[in-house]
């Protein structure tokens, strides 16, 4: 990793805005910036304190490019841990480019995606999982996603892992010490205590691994598929949920050709609605969806809203039960909600019959937007939102999830080894391996390829 370059990038979105921020970081940041900046008070940037702001002009020789504010941050007290200068200029694309080009001519290099955060990691300003949380935070679009990213960025997750890693490391050292005294047959590492620690680690790992199911959907939004026969009212329901005329509604069966996705936030939790192209011909041939897009979409969904036309149900209800059961059997992991639509067309008697026949069904009228709030409440209740309010750590990152699973497998091996009275040297190998996977999460052990992959997903300028 070459950290000697001074890098520059636009930190704000490209295009015109009121203000743009250009970021410069590296050993020459202040020197280079001072060469193009003329303070209105004739201040020399090189002599300014850290965390100070200065008004002046960016000059290309004698030509004034813009009036700007320059913030100075000195190593190690900056985001990257290096000398950093942030230029807040007027947000025209022309000005942004002029200043960046000027900085490049004066010796900066264009930053790569995530390079500022990569440097923060390499300079020990944050560990790897915190750096990853920065990207999640930038991408978060609802309260829940924001909250889990914030928690991770503030180190909740890493602290837990780092503590376990340290305790495990202690035992590893003691067991390895025993190896040096192999002749004397001593035991420095108390096996009972060690077993207790392993159980503790196992529990923490399991809890974190379990949290991923929630964490992952929170980050991306909980995928919900809306399924049902043509004309059941799927598009109308989607519109009602989203409160807008988004999907195409029509009387002609099968108008919803393409799957439409839209997002809805209910009390801070993001839901992604997938309006499946009407399950045509499926009332009794559910297997046929096996080849369709609908099937694919249902596959991705965590919740399936299975909608039927209640005004039409007499004809179909036998099949309906069979169909719901089939979906449930086919996707045992998914929750299928049966929804009776068009209840505005039913009289009291038929409503009662419907309720007796399908006690678990939610009765709505998508057209009149009746029952939509209840449906939203129901959706929310199906998601384990408790984890959000409890402040428990939630894993949202696939990379962490993989490492946690691998660490758990190693911990189980160590436990088994202890039970079988495995020799210290063999135990030590498994412990070291578990430690390795812990270290992968926080970045104590890492390689350039992994780092490259992680930071390539960042935006440039962060």
462 in a labelled binding site: yes
Q: Is 244 in the site for ligand GDP (CB under 6 A)?
A: no
Instruction: Name which of 254 and 391 has its Cβ closer to ligand GDP.
Output: 254
For 174: left if phi > 0, alpha if psi spans -120 to 50, otherwise beta; the answer is: alpha
Q: Which stretch binds ligand GDP (CB under 6 A): 26-34, 181-189, 200-208, 234-242?
A: 234-242
Q: Indicate which single residue of 137, 367, 380, 445 sits in contact with ligand GDP (rule: CB under 6 A).
A: 367
**Cα–Cα distance measured from residue 403 to residue 437, given in angstroms and rounded to the nearest whole number:** 5
Report residue 44: phi and psi, to 5°.
-95, 115
Q: What is the largest CA-CA distance in the chain?
A: 89
86 in a labelled binding site: yes
Please state the closest distance from residue 369 (CB atom) to ligand GDP, in A: 9
23 in a labelled binding site: yes
Handedness of CA 115, 118, 120, 126 (dihedral sign): positive
**Cα–Cα distance measured from residue 130 to residue 143, given in angstroms and rounded to the nearest whole number:** 19
Q: Which stretch binds ligand GDP (CB under 6 A): 125-133, 156-164, 199-207, 362-370?
A: 362-370
Q: Indicate which single residue of 97, 170, 250, 355 sits in contact with ligand GDP (rule: CB under 6 A).
A: 250
Instruction: Name which of 231 and 393 has its Cβ closer to ligand GDP.
Output: 231
Instruction: Name which of 47 and 349 has its Cβ closer to ligand GDP.
Output: 349
275 in a labelled binding site: yes
Please state the closest distance from residue 370 (CB atom) to ligand GDP, in A: 8
Q: Indicate which single residue of 190, 344, 373, 420 sits in contact with ligand GDP (rule: CB under 6 A).
A: 344
The token duo for 315 is 């004809």
Site residues (CB under 6 A) for ligand GDP, limited to 67-126: none
131 in a labelled binding site: no
Three-state DSSP at 149 gives helix
**Cα–Cα distance measured from residue 263 to residue 17, given in angstroms and rounded to the nearest whole number:** 27
- Are the C-beta atoms of 122 and 85 separated by less than 8 Å? no
Instruction: Name which of 152 and 231 has its Cβ closer to ligand GDP.
Output: 231
254 in a labelled binding site: yes
Q: Is 371 in the site for ligand GDP (CB under 6 A)?
A: no
Q: Which stretch binds ligand GDP (CB under 6 A): 114-122, 146-154, 297-305, 363-371?
A: 363-371
Q: Which residue is nearest to ligand GDP (CB)?
A: 233
**Cα–Cα distance measured from residue 380 to residue 353, given in angstroms and rounded to the nearest whole number:** 28
Q: Is 225 in the site for ligand GDP (CB under 6 A)?
A: no
Please state the closest distance from residue 309 (CB atom) to ligand GDP, in A: 7
Q: Indicate which single residue of 16, 40, 345, 456 sits in contact with ligand GDP (rule: CB under 6 A).
A: 345
Please state the closest distance from residue 294 (CB atom) to ligand GDP, in A: 12
Q: Indicate which single residue of 91, 114, 221, 230 sits in contact with ligand GDP (rule: CB under 6 A).
A: 230
Q: Indicate which single residue of 342, 400, 413, 462 sits in contact with ligand GDP (rule: CB under 6 A).
A: 342
Which residues 6+ apart lie within 8 Å of 389 measured at CB? none
For 130: left if phi > 0, alpha if psi spans -120 to 50, otherwise beta; the answer is: alpha
Please state the closest distance from residue 293 (CB atom) to ligand GDP, in A: 14
Please state the closest distance from residue 274 (CB atom) to ligand GDP, in A: 13
> Can you name the residues that pair with 52 across neighbouring β-strands?
72
Query: In angstroms, what CA-CA distances link 337 with 23, 226, 263, 329?
Result: 50, 10, 19, 14
26 in a labelled binding site: no
Q: Is 341 in the site for ligand GDP (CB under 6 A)?
A: yes
Q: Is 384 in the site for ligand GDP (CB under 6 A)?
A: no
Please state the closest distance from residue 231 (CB atom) to ligand GDP, in A: 4
> Can you name the residues that pair with 68 across neighbouring β-strands?
56
125 in a labelled binding site: yes
Q: Kindly report the CA angle at 84 between 78 and 88, in degrees rounded to 5?
A: 110
Instruction: Write the DSSP string, 310-342.
Output: GGGHHHHHHHHHHHHHHHHHH-TTSEEEEEEE-
**Cα–Cα distance measured from residue 386 to residue 161, given in angstroms and rounded to the nearest whole number:** 22
| 291-320 exposure pattern, b = at least 16 Cβ within 10 A, e = fewer | ebebbbbbeebbbbbbbbbbbebeebbebb
Binding mask 274-303 for ligand GDP (x = CB under 6 A): ----x-------------------------
Which residues 6+ apart lie within 8 Å of 135 measured at CB? 114, 117, 457, 458, 462
Calculate the CA 410 to chain-centre distance: 26
251 in a labelled binding site: yes
Which residues are part of a known binding site for Mg(2+)?
235, 256
Which residues are part of a known binding site?
23, 86, 125, 231-236, 250-256, 275-278, 462
Which residues are part of a known binding site for GTP?
231-236, 250-256, 275-278
**Binding footprint of ligand GDP on the chain (CB under 6 A):** 228, 230-236, 249-251, 255-256, 278, 341-342, 344-345, 365-367
């Amino acid at each position: 990793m070459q950290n000697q370059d001074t890098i520059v990038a636009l930190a704000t979105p490209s295009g015109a805005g009121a203000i743009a921020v250009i970021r410069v970081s590296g050993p020459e940041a202040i020197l280079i910036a001072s060469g193009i900046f003329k303070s209105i008070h004739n201040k020399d940037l090189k002599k300014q304190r850290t965390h100070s702001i200065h008004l002046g002009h960016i000059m290309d020789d004698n030509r004034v490019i813009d009036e700007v504010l320059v913030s100075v941050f000195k190593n190690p007290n900056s985001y990257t841990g290096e000398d950093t200068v942030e230029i807040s200029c007027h947000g025209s694309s022309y000005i942004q480019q002029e200043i960046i080009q000027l900085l490049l001519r004066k010796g900066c290099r264009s930053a790569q995606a995530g390079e500022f955060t990569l440097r923060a990691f390499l300079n020990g300003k944050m560990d790897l999982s915190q750096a990853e949380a920065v990207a999640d935070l930038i991408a978060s679009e609802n309260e829940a996603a924001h909250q889990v990213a914030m928690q991770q960025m503030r180190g909740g997750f890493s602290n837990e892992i780092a503590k376990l890693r340290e305790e495990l490391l202690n035992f590893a050292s003691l067991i390895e010490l025993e190896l040096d005294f192999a002749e004397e047959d001593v035991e420095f590492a108390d096996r009972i205590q060690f077993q207790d620690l392993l159980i503790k680690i196992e529990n923490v790992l399991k809890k974190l691994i379990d949290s991923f199911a929630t964490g992952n959907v929170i980050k991306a939004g909980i995928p919900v598929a809306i399924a049902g026969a043509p004309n059941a009212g799927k598009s109308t329901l989607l519109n009602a949920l989203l409160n807008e005329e988004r999907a195409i509604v029509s009387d002609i069966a099968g108008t919803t050709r393409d799957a439409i996705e839209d997002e809805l936030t209910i009390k801070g939790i993001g839901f992604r609605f997938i309006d499946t192209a009407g399950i045509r011909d499926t009332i009794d041939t559910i297997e046929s969806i096996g080849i369709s897009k609908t099937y694919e979409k249902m596959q991705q969904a965590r919740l399936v809203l299975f909608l039927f036309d209640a005004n039409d149900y007499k004809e179909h209800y036998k099949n309906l039960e069979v169909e719901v059961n089939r979906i449930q059997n086919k996707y045992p992991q998914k929750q299928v909600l049966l929804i009776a639509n068009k209840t505005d067309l039913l009289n009291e008697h038929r409503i009662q019959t419907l309720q007796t026949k399908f006690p678990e069904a939610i009765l709505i009228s998508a057209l009149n937007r009746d029952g939509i709030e209840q449906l939203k409440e129901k959706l929310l209740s199906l998601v384990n939102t408790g984890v959000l309010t409890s402040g428990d750590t939630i894993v949202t990152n696939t990379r962490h999830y993989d490492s946690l699973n691998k660490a758990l497998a190693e911990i189980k091996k160590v436990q088994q080894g202890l039970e079988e009275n495995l020799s210290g040297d063999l135990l030590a190998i498994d412990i070291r391996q578990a430690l390795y996977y812990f270290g992968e999460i926080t970045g104590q052990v890492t390689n350039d390829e992994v780092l490259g992959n992680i930071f390539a997903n960042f935006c440039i300028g962060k």
